[in-house]
Structure formats: C-alpha cells, structure tokens
Chain A
Amino acid sequence: MRLKDVAIASASLTAFFSLWEACYWLIVKNPLVLAPPSKVFKTLLDLFTGNYGPFFMPLDILYSLFHYALGFGTAVVVGFSVGLVAGLFRLADRLSYPIIELVRPIPPIAWIPMAILMLGLTHQAAGFIIFIGAVFPILLNTKHGVASIELKYLEAAMTLGATKGATLIRKVVIPAALPSILTGIRVGSGVAWMCVVAAELFGVSRYGLGYQIQMAEFYHYPDVIIAYMLAIGMLGLALDVFYRTIESKVLAWRAGLVVS
C-alpha cells in the first residue's frame, strides 16, 4: 500500500474516533449506555490479557473460529459437491433446484430453534446454523461456474486424450470453474462469519464472541460489548482479506484478462 493510501485511511479513522469520543463526553455521558474509544481500547487490551473479570478474549476468538471452521468447512464440502453434480447433470439440477430455492430464503437465524431441538445446545448446533448460511453461495456459484464452461474446452481436452469423465472433471471442469467457485467460497465465508455471531448470541453455545456480547450486556458493560464488536469486525475483515489473497494467487492467470 502506498503512503498516500495509509495517510487517507488514518485520517478517516482518526476523524471517526474523535467524533465518537466527543459524542460520548458531550451528549451521552453515561458509562452504562456507551463507551468512548479511549476506554474501549484500554478494555480491548485488558480483555486480551485476561484483566477484565470473567472475560478472556483469546479463548472466545478460538471458540468462534472453531464454530466457523465446523460450519464453513462442512458447507464447502457439501456446497462444492452438490454444486459440481448439479452443474454437470441436468437431472441433478432439476431435482435439487426446488429444494434449494425453497430453503435458501429462510434466514439462518430462523433455523436456531430447530437446531437447538435437534442438536441441543452444542457446538454442532452452532456449526449447523453456520452451515445453512454458507452452503448456498458456495453451491450456487460452483454450479454456475461448472454449467458455464464452454464446450470447446472439453472438446479440446477430449481430442488430446482426456476421454474419461473423471479426468475431464479434474483437469478441465474444476480449473475452468475455479473463479466462480472461489468467489462462492469467499462470499460464503462472509455469511458464515455473520452466522457465527448470530448463533452464539442466541446461546447455542456457551463460548465465543457472540455469546460474550450478550454476557457483557447482562453485566452492563457497553465498553466490553463494543470491544467484542470490534473484534468480530476485524476478524471478519481478516478472513475476507485471506480469501482474496488466495484468489489472486490461484487465479494469477486472470491478471491481464479481467477488470480486477
């Protein structure tokens, strides 16, 4: 990043934090309702070192990432497999289409009561909510990527000797569909992370960043609430950057071809 970019970003953030700080001291003035950035940063530090009562952020981060991995990992496996099959075979597509379109609009949050009834208040239940949210972008993007492959690539591969279906899938279909698949994964990851917080907020698990937001609410600690919210935002950003980096490395061949 160029120095100019860094300077602009810093200026923008500084203005935002100053406004927030002023807002607190001039308007709100109630430590049980809001916390100023000066307090929140000290709180963040204390949360990391375990100096703030029963709160210990590193453990919560681990648990949230665990829920994320559980749900998102499953979503990648299922979404990719079903998307691949549906993209390749018309029958599979027609069979799965109504079910997918019926279930997809249901918000993951609405699944929480079912998840609790079926799986109890367990990590699996949290993973399930995340799975439901993340699987559809992955599935649909994979299907679209696969179904959009130009026939000519398959013909070229066949004439070069790749006549078996499995070989074609491995060597042509998947590489050709990879841009769509990776987009689906990145989008799915974003949804998954939001579901992590939602699932934990509803008490599906006793640990995690979302759960602690609710605990902080019960204890009347708005600074802890905001600190956890910031942590959630920053981790979400880190995950997104991570996937974008992978995308740009794997899809280096697109560098001169597409707009970005």
Chain B
Amino acid sequence: MSREPILRVRGLKKVFEGSPPVVAVDGVDLDVFEGEFLCIVGPSGCGKTTLLRMLAGLERPTEGEALVKGRPIEGPGPDRVMVFQDHVLFPWRTVLGNVLFGLELKGLSRREAVEEAMKYIKLVGLEGFEGAYPHELSGGMRQRAALARALACNPDVLLMDEPLSALDAQTRNYMQGELMRIWMETKKTMVMVTHSVEEALYLGDRVVVLTARPAKVKSVVEVELERPRDRFAPKFIDLRAKILEMLREEVAKTLSMHMLRPH
C-alpha cells in the first residue's frame, strides 16, 4: 500500500524491572493505516496488552519509537482513546455523564456537548438509557457506553483491549456485529487486541499474530473477504486454521522452554 500509516511503530521494546527483569515486548514493527480495522492476536500472556498500552501512552517503551500522525507518543491522550476490557465507566456518572467526560474537556458549551454526546449514544444503540447509571446496565450495554464515550472524543485511533472478552457468547456475537456496524459508520481507525481468532477474522482487515513472550510480530495476515463475513465460509475456516496453527507453534515453544528451564 502506498498510504502513509497513521500509526507507525518501530522496534518497540518494553522491559519491566525486577529480579529477574521481564521482557514483555521485544522489538515490534507495525504500521496501522487510516480507516483500517487492525486486530492483534497472540498466545496468552505474550505481551499484547502491554503493546496496546504503549500505543495508548499508559506504558513508556524502554526502546523504540511510536508515532501517531508523525508525532511521537509522549503519554495518554484523546487522540488515542482506549477502551478497556472491563469498560471502566465512571460509576458516579450516568451514561450521558460518562460520554460527556471527554467533551467537557474540550470547552464546549453544555448544550453543544450534550447534543454531540447524544449522537454517539444513538450510534451505539443506547438511546433512552442516557440517564441510567452503569450498574443498572447489562454487560453489553456497558461496553457500548464505553465505546460511545471513546468515540465522542473523536480520536485518531481507537484502541481496544479485548473489549468483548467479558461478555457471554451470545452477547459477544451480537456485539461483534454492532462493532462492525459502528466502524463502518464512523470510518474510524481501530486497533483491537483479542484472544479469539474467529473474532479477529470476523472484524479485521488485517490480523497481526504475535509470538509468545517476549512479543514480536510473527506474521501479518491479510483478510480479503467481503463484509459481513460468513464464519462458515471455506476461506474463513482456512485462515482460522492457519492462524491457530501459528499460535499452537508458539504455545509449544513456551511449554518446551518451561520444560528445559531448570527448577
């Protein structure tokens, strides 16, 4: 592709101090293009969350560089809003209150901010629930509210850390559809970490497969399938098998490493 990446990562490395120090991410190169839906998968504990947090600015890289729209990432900010696995909605604010949070910081008048917030609340399908508190909502609704809150900031990139993992299977399936719909309507660049290969293939334009810890990019898989995708189409199943095989390789390596290490 000839497009300039909106997010550019080179040699990103993260070492956590301790005895012994833990290398979570060991030199990751990545390009994320504007408007694309990028999924990141990897074995459990490989460091994918750490990678995402570095992109969000919540973790400082030990080495390497990460640029968003050409500017280096210095810390967290509304240009790279993150949606967490357990929504992290502010319990003392209503749905509307939560969605307004980022808007309040932008200096809009109350009326303008509410108008804007309602747009996103409608988008995620929570119209009528703006006056509810988070604890009054179901799991799926909470994540939708978290999405609306993030989108209301109009970020350059929307980062999502396993946003659907805490939901039950049915809600999860439904929410995958919703996520796809929202992405198509907003045309936002989205980067999502998930441990479900099926989910990654259902939603992503490309799927980045990471190695076991310390994380490096093992492979980037292009998903050239029409949306909405059919989970039972032969090509879908093929890609899924391919990625699962890669992951199995990585898991095996981890286990053998454990067996070789003296106790």
A11-32 interface (Cβ within 8 A of B): none
Tell me which of A152, A160, A254 contacts B101 (CB under 8 A): A160
Q: A158-B76, A178-B92 are in contact. Are A256 and B149 (CB under 8 A)?
A: no
A178 to B58, CA, bound (A): 26
The answer on a CB contact under 8 Å between B102 and A163 is: no
What is the chain B residue whose CB lies nearest that of A164?
Answer: B105
A163 to B76, CA, bound (A): 7
Tell me which of A153, A158, A254 contacts B58 (CB under 8 A): A158
Tell me which of B75, B86, B91, B105 contacts A160 (CB under 8 A): B105
The yes or no answer to A113 lying at the interface (CB within 8 A) is no
Q: A153-B88, A153-B90 are in contact. Are A161 and B105 (CB under 8 A)?
A: yes
Contacts of A253 in B (CB 8 A): 91-94, 133, 135
The answer on a CB contact under 8 Å between A176 and B58 is: no
Contacts of A155 in B (CB 8 A): 58, 76, 82, 84, 88
The yes or no answer to A172 lying at the interface (CB within 8 A) is yes
Tell me which of B75, B84, B91, B149 contacts A257 (CB under 8 A): B91
Tell me which of B78, B92, B106 contacts A159 (CB under 8 A): B78
Q: SS class of chain A's interface: helix, strand, loop or mixed? A: helix
Q: A167-B105, A256-B136, A257-B135 are in contact. Are A159 and B91 (CB under 8 A)?
A: no
The answer on a CB contact under 8 Å between A175 and B78 is: no
Q: A155-B58, A156-B84, A171-B101 are in contact. Are A163 and B91 (CB under 8 A)?
A: no
The yes or no answer to B57 lying at the interface (CB within 8 A) is yes
Contacts of A256 in B (CB 8 A): 133, 135-136
With an 8 Å Cβ cutoff, the count of chain B residues facing the other chain is: 29
Contacts of A175 in B (CB 8 A): 90, 92-93
The yes or no answer to B56 lying at the interface (CB within 8 A) is yes
Q: A155-B58, A171-B101, A256-B135 are in contact. Are A160 and B92 (CB under 8 A)?
A: no
The yes or no answer to B153 lying at the interface (CB within 8 A) is yes
Instruction: Indicate the member of A155, A172, A178, A256 with the most B CB atoms within 10 Å.
Output: A155
The answer on a CB contact under 8 Å between B78 and A160 is: yes
Smallest CB–CB gap between B146 and chain A, Å?
Answer: 9
Smallest CB–CB gap between A174 and chain B, Å?
Answer: 10
The answer on a CB contact under 8 Å between B88 and A172 is: no
Q: SS class of chain B's interface: helix, strand, loop or mixed? A: loop
With an 8 Å Cβ cutoff, the count of chain A residues facing the other chain is: 21
The answer on a CB contact under 8 Å between B90 and A159 is: no
The answer on a CB contact under 8 Å between B153 and A160 is: yes
Indicate with 1 or 0, residue by residue over B60-100, a CB within 8 angstroms of chain A CB atoms: 00000000000000011110111010101011111000000
Tell me which of A162, A167, A176 contacts B92 (CB under 8 A): A176
The answer on a CB contact under 8 Å between B81 and A160 is: yes
A158 to B88, CA, bound (A): 12
Contacts of B135 in A (CB 8 A): 253, 256-257
Indicate with 1 or 0, residue by residue over A142-172, a CB within 8 angstroms of chain B CB atoms: 0000000000110111111111000100011
Smallest CB–CB gap between A66 and chain B, Å?
Answer: 34
Q: A152-B88, A175-B90, A257-B135 are in contact. Are A159 and B57 (CB under 8 A)?
A: yes
Contacts of B81 in A (CB 8 A): 159-160
A162 to B86, CA, bound (A): 20
Known pairs A159-B78, A159-B81, A160-B150. 7 more at Cβ < 8 A? Answer: A159-B77, A160-B105, A175-B90, A253-B133, A253-B135, A256-B136, A257-B135
In the complex, 30 of the A-B residue pairs with CB atoms within 8 angstroms, ordered by the A residue number, are: A153-B88, A155-B58, A155-B76, A155-B84, A156-B84, A156-B88, A158-B57, A159-B56, A159-B58, A159-B77, A159-B80, A159-B81, A159-B82, A160-B81, A160-B101, A160-B102, A160-B150, A160-B153, A161-B77, A161-B153, A162-B101, A163-B75, A167-B105, A171-B104, A175-B90, A253-B93, A253-B94, A256-B133, A256-B135, A257-B91
